[in-house]
Structures are given as C-alpha cells and as structure tokens.
Amino acid sequence: MSEPGHRYVSTDRRVREDRRFVVGKGRYVADIGLPNTKHVALLTCPYPAARIKSIDKSAALAMPGVHYVLDGAELAAATLPLMTGLETPNVPRRPLAHEVARYAGEWVAAVVADSRALAEDAAEKVKVVYEKLPFVLDAEQALEKSSPLVHEAHGSNVLLDKTFTWGEVDRDFAAAPRKLSLRVKWGRSSTVPIETFGVVASWDPWRDMLDVYASIQMPRYSDQIGIALKLPASSVRVHYDVDVGGSYGVKRGIKHTVLVGYLSRRLGFPVRLIEDRLENMRGGDAHGPERLFDVEVAFDDQGIVKSMKLRALENVGAYAGRSPFQLGKPIGAIVGPYKIKSVQYRAMAVVTNKTTQEAVRGFGQAPTNVAIERTVDEVAEVLGLDPIEIRRRNMIRHEDFPYTIPSGTTYDSGDYHTVIDKVLKHTSYEDLKRERDALRAQGKLAGIGIAACLEPSGGNAMFEALLNPKITTTTFMDSCRITVDGIGSITATMHTTSSGQGHETLVGTVIGEVLQLDPELIRVTRPDSLNSLPSGTPVGSRMAIMLGGAAFHAANKLKAKLIAIGAHDLGIAPERAVYERGEVYDRNAPEKRRAWADLVQIAYRNFHRMPADMEPGLSVSHVMQVPTGGKLPDASGRVQMYPCTSFEFHMILISIDPALGRPQIVKYRVGHDCGTVINPKIVRGMTMGGIAHGIGAALYEEFAYDGEGQLMAQNFMDYLLPSSHEVPAVEIVHHCTPSPHTVLGQKGSGESGYLGAPAGIANAINDALRPLGISINTLPIKVAVLGDLIAAAQEKKE
C-alpha cells in the first residue's frame, strides 16, 4: 500500500493516541473533575406538542442539596436563540422549551444538585402543567395545509423548498426512450456514539472567563456559545484536549453548552451535564436524516442514464439545527460516479414533532447514495442488464477527469473501472454468483448487492451559501503551528478536538515526512480555543486534506527557514543548500553542513548569525483554505462543493432465511480509493467502522415513533447497534488515485464505508427478493418486516 518515495506516509505505523486509550487514560469529559462541580438532570416533556402552562419548582428546591431549577422562560430572557443556518427567524431554537414544547423528550427544565442522582430525584418533584396540542409526525402530512403547525409563527411547516435544474432536464427526458420512477425511504437513524454528549462549564467572574470542556465536534463552537450567552468569544475558553468518545458528526452540543454555561454564570460554580442515555436518545437533538426520495430517471436501451429528477423530503424534527443543510451537501455528488448530463433536484425540509437532528456522517450523502444506487439497479433490472455492467457503462472514465458534473462541482480524480476490475480480480464475480445460486438451491433467498458510491471530501460548507443566499462564507480553514524549542525538540499544534480519527498521528506523520524526522519525535498538542489558530473541525471528511495540508505547509515553512539559516551561516545561496534529516549542507561540498543543534543555536541564541530580516526563534504556522474553494454559487445554483472525491465499490452476498426474514451477510468485499493513504491502520479502521455503521442503518437502527408521538427506540434494547455478531469479515481492496489538489495526493476517508454499505445491502436484499417478484425500498429493512413481506409474496404465488 505504501506509495513510492515516502518515508513515513503510507507505512504501517502505530497510532500514537492508542497508548492512552488502552490503559484507560483517555481524558473524556466525564473524567473532568473540577472542584465543587454540580450536576444537571433534565425534566422532559412527555407529549409531542404541549403548551407549558406552569412550572412549580418549590418541592424540588426544598430538597437538601438541590441548588437550582432553570426553566425555559428564564433562559430565553437571558440568552439569544441558537444559531440556525436557514433564514427562519420564527423557528427559534433554544436549549429549554419556552412556552411550547414541540417533541416528546424535549427539555423543559434543568435541575442542578450536588449529585446526578439527587438532580434526578429533584427533577421528579418539579410539577409542570401542560396543555396538550395537536401534533404531526409524518413529513408528507406536515406538508398538508390542514396539518398542525409545529411553529405557528412560521406559518407553515416548510423550512426549505428549493428546486435546482442543472442542464436540459426536460429535453433529455423527452428524448429518452425509457423512464422509470422509484420511491426510496431512509429511516431515521443516527451515529449514536457510545459516549453520550457531555459538557462541563465553569465561569470565573474575576477573570470574565467561561472554561468549557465538552465532547464536542462542532465548527464555530466557541463563537456560537459566545453569541448565545452574549459574551465575547474571547471570554469562552474551549479546551480541545478532551478526548471525544465517538461522534461521527453528531456531537454538536450547542444547546447543552449554552444551558450549563448560563447555569455556571448564574450560580457561580462549575456545572456539568453528562447526558444519560435516555436524555441522549430523546432530547439530545442528535437524530439523523429521515428522508423520502422520489426519483425519476430517463435512460436509453443500452442503460445509459440521460437525466434524473430527484425530490428529497427531509423530516428534520422540531427545530432546524444543521439538518436542512444535509440536503445541500449531496449536490456536490448528485450524480454519484455517473455521467448523468442533467439533473433536477428539489430539496424540501419540513418540521414535525420529532426530535431535532444534527449532522450525521456523510451529511446526507449516504441516503442520497441509496436513492441513486437503488435506481441504477432498477434500470438494470428493466433492461435485463447485469448491475456491474450497467455501472461500467455509466461511470465516468479515468481519462474524463477532472470531470464537472451538472451541479457545478468538478471531481478531482478517479479510476472507477480499475477499482472494479481489482475487486473482481480479488473475488470472482462468477464464483460469487454461483455461491448465490447454490444458496438459492438450498431454499434460501440469496442476493448480490452492488453499490458504487462517492465520498466527497475536504469539507467546505458551500451548501450553506447555496441554500441560504444571505450566507456568503467561502472560507473554510484549518491550521497548524510548529515550534522547535531552544533545545531542539519539536511541538506541533492542532486546534480542534478529535473523536478517534488519530489526528495527532496524522500531524506527526506529515511533519515527520516533510522534515525527514521520526514522527515519534514530534509532540502534538491541542491548545485551547483562545490560543488556537483559525480552524474548522473534523467534519466533511476533511482532516487528512486540511489538517494534513496545514501541517505539510507549516513543515515546509519550517524547512525553508532552516535552509535559509543554514545557507546563511555556510555563506552560500539558499538554492545551493540541501536539507536532509534535520541538517543543512552545501550541495557542492557536502562536508560543509550545519546540524540540527547548530541551526537551533543560531535561531535561538546567535542573532548575529541569522539572515537579515528574519524573525528569531523557530516557530511557523500555516492557515490553510480548502483547495478549489473560494467561489460563491452561480445564479443557476452551480457550485464547487468539496475538492476531492473518494470512491468505494461494494460487492455483498446476502442470504435470507425465507421463513424468518432474517438476513445474513455471507461475503463482503469493498474496493476503496481515497488517494494517498497517510496511515493504513487508520484508513482501514474508518472503512470497517463505516461499513458496520452502514449495516446498522440498512438493517437494524431506527428511531421509530408510535402514533402518539412517543419515541419507541429510546434505549439500547430497542435501538439496535450492530454487535460483533452482525458485522461480517470484510475484505478491502485498495487502490490509489492521488488527488491533484492535495499535498500528498490524499483524499478523505472519515465517512468511507458508510456512504455505500446501506446502498449495497439494500441492493443485495432486493436481488434476493427478485425471484419472488417483490422489492423493498424502505430502510432499515427489519427482520420481521422482511419476513412478513416474503410470506405475503409466497402466499400470493401459491
């Protein structure tokens, strides 16, 4: 897997973060013990919609050890609503329900007590009088005029309804000999990390400083806290050296942080809120997409897809959050890996009386990929084409790159056909089909699922400006600072938290590569937000590209400075000086050299030996803008979304026990191309984990509600995360098509696996069902639902 010419990059090195994790010395937010910290428990609304008539706190406040009961009215008066992306001023979002609660589980009051157990005792004593209100749960019903309004002042339940037309859709549809339409449903699921969200806030009135420790993965986190709490962001110190116990997008936590930040300022002691699992599942605002797709495609007799119309209707839940934007990001890969020439895309987001969503791994791309890939399979089915063959025919070819898709994004590079070839070389397709047929002969339902999907990576957020023209942000930074100290040791900084992506290893590896020094010698730290350079967060599969890029550029700046110092001291032109493993020598006389210690000596203590006009010391930094970024969308809604596109090709054999409807993954192969791999262990782990998460979304996980608006899957006995039993052995076939836009040719992989697994599994199950003449396009595909469907089809056949 190692790419030629690299010393540390692409080599199979250990991940430095692991050492603290294996001994239980990760420092998670629940491990932060500030003296005199008090604990929050939350009182939640039992109804999907209710007016809060009164809150009686007296019995709770009378309990010894109980310090405060905060309600939504007090908090709303003292803070600003949370930032939302769309222009929806009449859909305010606040940490605690104010006047009206809009979903079952929404937080209504926060109790502060000496211990979490006591806070829960007291929360039971708070008496709230509610007036139940009519509610709506289903997205299509929410669109109807007669439907109850979730936010009355907004005047409708629609937050977003925007149609884009890229290319000659009508003409292409009229000209195409064949058309097909399909409805695909992605059920409400999320990333559900094993660590819930937690935050500790401590206000120091003598320093005007709010110290925040949180299990956070949120861009502009301290800005948003500052704005909501009406504090300058310079009074919000976010500690990034907190390990985050998994996130995959959802750990946004603004509402939690504003809540405890306010409480700490109000009460004068540190306050912590570590969600328990019920708070997390019901009211943590960490649900993911629940999306209904109506797809129409126009194609010819050879299976070439000419045009596509896609309507995506998102049920965002009670408040906007980041969710509506998750309809925007897929625009950057709206045709997947295919040469579809024109696209119409209608993005609709409605509010309902369900829990609010946050960003989920892939930011809407995984559901969109299911819609595209299910449709491609249906086209193949109609024409009697093999699912791999139809993909080959439609796919962008290696020589077509860079390739601009109708929605304006130029894909950087790819070699999709070769990846498929490599997977089929690893595992014979014919043998796999024989294995499927043998299973069928044994009385099983068996199917092969193919999915070819893209992972846009590099994470600019151009969907914001696309969906909300008032937003003009085109700057999306990440940064790194490297300091060589006075005795020559190296410290690099990164400026965000991590949730398992191995960023310290990434920074160390890249700097080690550039400086030709053992990465283990490079300390990587995380200063707090007040000591940080401008930075984003690990969203949008961006850190290998952006943090890796920033580290690369900073290291090159350091190298250039070392060369300048060495050359000057050697009395030669910098062009004649060569840098090698920490030393600088004269190209023409290699024995003339300055060792690392010499260079440090000059930079720190011998100003008289420094080149003119050079800063003393050895500290450099680099703030990096996302490659290819910087342009606003044009008038027709064409935009350059993420700079890089990784590719994944899934080939899955599934067997279903027809009597039970229980699927079992028999074989799982995936071809993966994310350009240059910086750390193979990390990239493999990401892909494996993404596939496991995708298996969950496809088969097990759903935040299901009953007709009364109650969340039925609110604990881990009903929301089913895949265990080791459910995740098969997966074989990955690696390919490397470097990106021309990144420093080492790397692309993103933080969402890999997840972006194609649900599509591949859905296709495999549909292949298995084909002999029965039925199909299923609603995810997750649950055992008993599948069982009932199969039984009904068998009955009909008999």
Partner 1 sequence: MRETLRKENRMRIELDINGSKREIEVEPRTTLLDCLRDTLGLTGAHAGCEHGVCGACTVLFDGVAVRSCLMFAVQAQGSAITTIEGVTPGPGELSPVQDAFCETHGMQCGFCTPAMILTAHALLADNPNPTREQIVEAISGNICRCTGYAQIVEAIALAAERLRGANRPKDARP
Partner 2 sequence: MKAAPFEYSRPADIDEACALLAADESARVVAGGQTLVAMMAMRLARPTRLIDINRIAALSYIRTEGDDVKIGATARQCVAERDALIAKSAPLLARAIPNIGHAATRARGTVGGSLANADPAAELVLCAITLDAVIEYRADGESGEIPAREFYIGPMITTLPAGAVLSGVRFPIWRGKVGVGFHEVNARRSDFAFVSAAAQVELGDDGKAKRIAIGVGAATDFPLRLDSAEAQLSGTALDEKTVRDALRAALADVETLEDLHASADYRRRVAVDLAARALADARNAAQGKPHAH
Task: Summarize as ranges the residues that interact with partner 2 (CB under 8 A).
Answer: 116-117, 120-121, 124, 276-278, 659-662, 699-700, 704, 712-713, 715, 717-718, 720, 722-723, 725-726, 782-784, 787-788, 791
- Taking the complex as a whole, how short is the minimal distance between the CB of residue 116 and partner 2, in angstroms? 6
> What residues contact residue 721 under an 8 Å CB cut-off, 6+ apart?
192, 696, 700, 701
What is the spatial distance between Cα 121 and Cα 99, in angstroms, rounded to a whole number? Answer: 24
Per partner kind, with CB cut-offs from 5 to 8 A, the member of partner 1, partner 2, none near residue 529 is none
Considering the rule CB under 8 A, would residue 574 count as an interface residue with partner 1? no
DSSP 10-50: TS-PPPTTHHHHHTT---BGGG---TT-EEEEEEE-SSSSE
Burial class (CB in 10 A: 0-12, 13-18, 19+), 797: exposed
- Taking the complex as a whole, how short is the minimal distance between the CB of residue 663 and partner 2, in angstroms? 10
Burial letters for 117-135: b for 16+ Cβ neighbours within 10 Å, e otherwise?
ebbbbbbebbebebeebeb
Distances, alpha carbon 216 to alpha carbons 195, 250, 254, in Å: 11, 9, 9
- Taking the complex as a whole, how short is the minimal distance between the CB of residue 590 and partner 1, in angstroms? 39
Helix segments in 125-272, DSSP class H:
139-143, 169-175, 221-229, 254-267
- The structure tokens listed for 320 are 């906007």
Contact assessment for residue 768 and residue 647, using Cβ atoms and an 8 Å cutoff? no
Which of these ranges, 18-26, 87-95, 379-387, 612-620, lies near partner 1 under the rule CB under 8 A? 18-26
Which of these ranges, 45-53, 324-332, 448-456, 688-696, lies near partner 1 under the rule CB under 8 A? 688-696
- The structure tokens listed for 63 are 């309990």
- Taking the complex as a whole, how short is the minimal distance between the CB of residue 720 and partner 2, in angstroms? 5
- Residue the block writes with tokens 């605002």: 285
- Taking the complex as a whole, how short is the minimal distance between the CB of residue 260 and partner 2, in angstroms? 18
Phi, psi of 642 (to 5 degrees): -55, 150
Contact assessment for residue 339 and residue 325, using Cβ atoms and an 8 Å cutoff? no
Considering the rule CB under 8 A, would residue 664 count as an interface residue with partner 1? no
- Residue the block writes with tokens 């003296």: 35
What is the spatial distance between Cα 200 and Cα 198, in angstroms, rounded to a whole number? Answer: 7
Which of these ranges, 240-248, 292-300, 538-546, 591-599, lies near partner 1 under the rule CB under 8 A? 240-248
Per partner kind, with CB cut-offs from 5 to 8 A, the member of partner 2, partner 1, none near residue 162 is none
Considering the rule CB under 8 A, would residue 734 count as an interface residue with partner 1? no
- Taking the complex as a whole, how short is the minimal distance between the CB of residue 411 and partner 2, in angstroms? 38
- Residue the block writes with tokens 């639902």: 785
Nearest to partner 2 of 116, 398 (CB atom): 116
Nearest to partner 2 of 289, 722 (CB atom): 722
Considering the rule CB under 8 A, would residue 701 count as an interface residue with partner 1? no
- Taking the complex as a whole, how short is the minimal distance between the CB of residue 178 and partner 2, in angstroms? 37
Applying CB under 8 A, among 9, 15, 539, 656 the residue interacting with partner 1 is: 15
Q: What residues between 492 and 551 interact with partner 1 by CB under 8 A?
A: 499-502
Considering the rule CB under 8 A, would residue 65 count as an interface residue with partner 1? no
Applying CB under 8 A, among 4, 5, 22, 707 the residue interacting with partner 1 is: 22
Per partner kind, with CB cut-offs from 5 to 8 A, the member of partner 2, partner 1, none near residue 681 is partner 1
Nearest to 142 by CA among 357, 287, 352: 352
Per partner kind, with CB cut-offs from 5 to 8 A, the member of partner 1, partner 2, none near residue 659 is partner 2
Per partner kind, with CB cut-offs from 5 to 8 A, the member of partner 2, partner 1, none near residue 74 is none
List residues bridging with 213 in a β-sheet.
200, 239
Nearest to 751 by CA among 366, 329, 246, 368: 366
Considering the rule CB under 8 A, would residue 64 count as an interface residue with partner 1? no
Nearest to 332 by CA among 451, 463, 165: 463
Applying CB under 8 A, among 249, 549, 689, 756 the residue interacting with partner 1 is: 689
Applying CB under 8 A, among 441, 487, 635, 717 the residue interacting with partner 1 is: 717
The CA-to-CA distance between both ends of the chain, in Å, stands at 53
Nearest to partner 1 of 199, 390 (CB atom): 199
What binding mask, one character per residue, do residues 189-228 give for partner 1 by CB under 8 A, x or -?
Answer: --xxxxxx--------------------------------
Per partner kind, with CB cut-offs from 5 to 8 A, the member of partner 2, partner 1, none near residue 170 is none
Residue 538, preceding bond cis, omega within 30 degrees?
Answer: no
Residues binding partner 1 (CB under 8 A): 14-15, 17-26, 28, 30-31, 117, 191-196, 243-248, 274, 276-277, 499-502, 681-682, 684-686, 688-693, 715-717, 721, 723-725, 727, 729-730, 753
